Amino acid sequence: MIAQEPTLKNRPEFINVRIKRQNGPGQEPYWELHKIKYEPEMNVISVLQRIAAQATTVDGKRVTPVTWDCGCLEEVCGACTMVVNGRVRQSCSALVDRLLADNPDEIVLEPMSKFPVIRDLMVDRERLFRGLQRVKGWVPVDSYYDMGPGERQLRDTQEQNYPLSQCMSCGCCLEACPQFLKIEVPRKEGETDEQYEARKYAEYDKGFVGANAISQVMLFNNHPTGKALAKERLDALTGPGGIATCGNAQNCVAVCPKEIPLTTSIARAGRATTVHAIKKWFER
């Protein structure tokens, strides 16, 4: 049976919103129930704005406004990722009418479970960006002078690269991946910023780099200028936490909001790392 969105006749007067909150990094999470007036065509961000404005639970208890992250509000920046009704997604494109059609009783909001919580629904995605550093997920340039037009790309290359270039570093693929496990590094007393960062990155670098970073390797290794770092990227993928950690569960591709062909990238990366390893063996 196809779930029905609220119509003029069956639209609810109020919406129940259950939120998993946490006051700070490493603290115990707790659940809170809020009730707001229904308005047509809201998204989860507008629901959170109403909840922040009223800052009162369903039992009439005054509470601090719920914290969340967002930027573009059009599924481009990747900042607003959270778990909505048990499914990781962008909260800016999660439409309330559709959510109510699936579950008219309540909307349940949780932070992603694979990243450290900063507060409430806001998480620290730094490990994702560290993963892109590990694989050198960029086109190298050695100055900001005008160096003229870049090398032309064949249409086939453009068509292969364009979908991969749409990655917005949202973290959905990492949240859904059974091989990407949470790493949270609490700060030690007396530690300097530099000491803490070095210790945190050392921990992050032991973990799985994730489908998004593997896919970015395929993007930049297939780019006329980006391929200058191809070997270094493949070295990173053959190292600890690299492609061998992927268990091919394919959860990543199922949740990517940009529908990036992540499992195709993983298969291509698997072949590229094998060829790279054989070449290195012969070069010894």
Q: Report CA 155 to chain centroid distance, whole Å.
A: 29
Q: Is 73 in the site for ligand FES (CB under 6 A)?
A: yes
Tell me the CA distances in angstroms from 97 to 1, 10, 40, 256, one per residue in order. Answer: 17, 11, 7, 22
| 157-to-92, 137, 149, 221, 223 alpha-carbon distances in Å | 32, 18, 17, 11, 8
Residue 85: strand, helix, or coil: coil
Cβ-based nearer residue to ligand FES, 44 or 246: 44
Residue 72 contact partner, candidates ligand SF4, ligand FES, none, CB within 5 to 8 A by sort of partner: ligand FES
- According to DSSP, the residues that pair with 31 across neighbouring strands are 20
Does position 82 interact with ligand SF4 (CB under 6 A)? The reply is no
212 forms part of the interface with ligand SF4 (CB under 6 A):
yes
φ/ψ of residue 88, rounded to 5: -75, 135
Determine, following the binding rule CB under 6 A, whether residue 235 of this chain makes contact with ligand FES: no
> Measured from the CB of residue 134, what is the shortest distance to ligand SF4 in angstroms?
15
Residue 48 binding target from ligand FES, ligand SF4, none, CB below 5 to 8 Å by type: none
Q: Does 90 bind ligand FES (CB under 6 A)?
A: yes
Report the site for ligand SF4 in 247-276 (rule: CB under 6 A): 247-252, 256-258, 260, 262-263, 266
Contact between 258 and 173 (Cβ < 8 Å) = no
Interface with ligand SF4 (CB under 6 A), residue from 17, 92, 94, 170: 170
Name residue, tokens 């006749």: 9
Residues in the chain: 284
- Coil, strand or helix: which one is 34? strand
Tokens of 251: 């959860």
Q: Is 107 in the site for ligand SF4 (CB under 6 A)?
A: no
- Number of residues binding to ligand FES, judged by CB under 6 A: 12
Under the criterion CB under 6 A, does residue 167 sit at the interface with ligand SF4? yes
> What does 70 interact with, of ligand SF4, ligand FES, none (CB < 5 to 8 A by kind)?
ligand FES
Give counts: helices (H), strands (E), the chain.
Answer: 10, 7
Residue 79: CB minimum distance to ligand FES, A: 5
CA-CA distances (angstroms) from residue 74 to 70, 90, 121, 208? 10, 9, 19, 29
76 vs 230 by CB, closer to ligand FES: 76
User: DSSP secondary-structure letter at 183?
Assistant: -
Q: How near is the Cβ of 176 to ligand SF4 at its closest, in Å?
A: 6
Binding partner of residue 27 among ligand SF4, ligand FES, none, CB cut-off 5 to 8 Å per kind:
none
Partners of 108 in beta bridges:
18
Residue 43 near ligand SF4 by CB under 6 A:
no
Nearest distance, CB of residue 227 and ligand SF4, angstroms: 21
- Write out the residues near ligand FES by the rule CB under 6 A: 70-73, 75-80, 90, 92
